[in-house]
């Protein structure tokens, strides 16, 4: 009988400790949430940043001995930011044959940079994709 009482007290003690630990964890989570809401900055202190709009994207290859033919062909391409081709050629692409991997980059040009509006207009006239020679002829 005494063993049964000792066992019952031990089970109750374990249950009590687990219940309080769960309840205490929930209280800690709610107090952290309350503290976060309390420390949140008012709306008038939020700094407003202006996002620059992208006029076009320029594909730039490495142009060394390890540059593959695919990257050389794409080098100098100008694309509109929403063009479907841009999603297919985003570097590093899998078609690159460079043993060190694709090292090409996309250069994003914003509308406030010099000459970007003219190039953007040329791209819109030519369907969203132009090579370097077309851009140079259009600006001349």
**Digit-coded pLDDT (tens) for 17-53:** 888 877 765 555 555 555 555 555 555 554 444 556 8
**Stronger pLDDT, 94 or 55, i.e. the higher one:** 55
Helices 132-139, 116-125: axis angle to 10 degrees equals 110
Are 53 and 117 in contact by the 8 Å Cβ rule? The answer is: no
Return the pLDDT at 134: 85
Burial of 106 (0-12, 13-18, 19+ CB in 10 A): middle
Distance CA 120, CA 53 (A): 12
Predicted pLDDT at 34: 52
- The per-residue pLDDT for range 66-84, each reduced to its tens digit, is 788 888 888 888 888 888 8
Query: Any idea which of 25-39, 79-93, 115-129 has the lowest mean pLDDT?
Result: 25-39
Q: Are 57 and 81 in contact (CB under 8 A)?
A: yes
- Whether residue 60 has pLDDT greater than 80: yes
pTM confidence score: 0.56
DSSP 45: G
Q: Confirm if 106 and 90 have CB atoms less than 8 A apart.
A: yes
DSSP 109: E
Report whether 72 contacts 61 (CB < 8 A): yes
Percent of the chain whose pLDDT exceeds 90: 0
């Amino acid at each position: 009988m005494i063993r049964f009482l000792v066992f019952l007290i031990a089970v109750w003690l374990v249950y009590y400790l687990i219940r309080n630990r769960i309840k205490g964890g929930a209280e800690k989570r709610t107090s952290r949430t309350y503290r976060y809401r309390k420390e949140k900055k008012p709306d008038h202190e939020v700094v407003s940043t202006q996002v620059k709009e992208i006029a076009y994207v320029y594909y730039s290859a490495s142009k060394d001995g390890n540059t593959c033919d695919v990257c050389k062909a794409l080098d100098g391409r100008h694309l509109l930011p929403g063009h479907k081709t841009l999603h297919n050629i985003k570097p590093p692409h899998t078609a690159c044959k460079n043993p060190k991997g694709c090292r090409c980059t996309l250069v994003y040009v914003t509308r406030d940079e010099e000459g970007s509006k003219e190039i953007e207009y040329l791209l819109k006239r030519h369907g969203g994709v132009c090579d370097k020679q077309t851009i140079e002829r259009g600006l001349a």
